[in-house]
Amino acid sequence: MKILAIGDIVGEIGLNTVERNLRALKQEFEIDFTVANGENAAGVGITSHMARRLYTAGVDVITLGNHVWGKREIAQFLEDDGYILRPANLADIAPGRGYGIFSVKNKLLGVVNLIGRCDMNFGPDNPFHCMSRIRKEIAQHTNLCVVDFHANATSEKAAMAYHMDGQVSAVWGTHTHVQTADERIFPKGLGFITDLGMTGPMNSVLGIRPEQSLRMFRGDVPVRFETADGPCLLCGAVFTIDENTGVCTGIERIRREG
């Protein structure tokens, strides 16, 4: 089974890039299932209309992160739609769900979305204990499971990979918008990359117009951040997973201009 994971899609330019390229990319890599982080599709947050555009483009499941409530209208959509996940370790009273089990190639695949706690301005539950609980629930149905861990600290993401090695097929990081060149398979068969990177404008500071980011860091009067334009990157990774054992047998990083 080949799973494509797409890094944080930023703004209209990122959405357009997915719409233009995803079908061909899926064909090229013979992808069976696609998971994309969409929490920056509206810059901050995502709307139901944007989520539907991603489904139409070929995304199977959308994951989110710290900007989950950036567009408040998404709360109802999170309740109504089974293919968009918010971090599982948010409070139980939060709308939506943090994991799902989906049908892929006559098998069942668990997909989990978690948020980290290091340097994040949220007060979520412990993602490690949360993941252990979810793994037990998913294991009643399938041994195939992948995790988007939306987190800032490289250490927290690597620790999660060790925590889940031998229990899930893959853990990938999102949130930093910078792709890391550290994809590897852990001793018990878990595929891991610290961060998938960004699907957004190349000439930017993490997707934002450079001059606006510079203003902030220089201490000028701040302005409302806007997504940059120009050439766009699509970043992610392809995980090849043995459908019978759940072991990851290969990871290929994707970094495409277009």
Q: For the CB of residue 158, give the shortest distance to Fe ion in the complex, in Å.
A: 18
User: Of 86, 81, 53, which is closest to residue 68 (Cα–Cα)?
Assistant: 86
Q: What phi-psi label fits residue 177: left (phi over 0), alpha (psi between -120 and 50 degrees) or beta? A: left
Q: For the CB of residue 2, give the shortest distance to Fe ion in the complex, in Å.
A: 26
With residue 237 as reference, give the H or E element that holds it. strand 233-241
Q: For the CB of residue 46, give the shortest distance to Fe ion in the complex, in Å.
A: 12
| Choices 28-36, 59-67, 125-133, 208-216; region in contact with Fe ion by CB under 5 A | 59-67
Select from 66, 89, 179, 204 the one that contacts Fe ion (CB under 5 A).
Answer: 66
Number of residues forming the site for Fe ion (CB under 5 A)? 3
Please report whether residue 177 would count as binding Fe ion according to CB under 5 A.
no
User: Considering just the CA atoms, what is the radius of gyration of the chain in Å?
Assistant: 17
Provide the CA 108 distance to its chain's centre, in angstroms. 19
User: Of 167, 141, 174, 165, which is closest to residue 63 (Cα–Cα)?
Assistant: 174
Please report whether residue 163 would count as binding Fe ion according to CB under 5 A.
no
Q: For the CB of residue 121, give the shortest distance to Fe ion in the complex, in Å.
A: 10
| Choices 56-64, 172-180, 208-216, 229-237; region in contact with Fe ion by CB under 5 A | 172-180
Q: For the CB of residue 206, give the shortest distance to Fe ion in the complex, in Å.
A: 10
Q: If you ran DSSP here, which 8-state letter would residue 193 be given?
A: E
Q: How far apart are CA 121 and CA 76, in angstroms?
A: 23
Please report whether residue 175 would count as binding Fe ion according to CB under 5 A.
yes
Q: Catalytic pick from 49, 67, 141, 150?
A: 67
Binding mask 9-48 for Fe ion (x = CB under 5 A): ----------------------------------------
**Catalytic annotation present for 49:** no
Which residue type occupies 104? Answer: V
∠ CA 256-182-161, nearest 5°, is 115
Residue with smaller CB distance to Fe ion, 157 or 175: 175
Find out whether 90 and 124 touch, Cβ atoms under 8 Å. yes
Reported residue count of the chain is 258
Please report whether residue 65 would count as binding Fe ion according to CB under 5 A.
yes
List active site positions: 67
Site residues for Fe ion per CB under 5 A: 65-66, 175
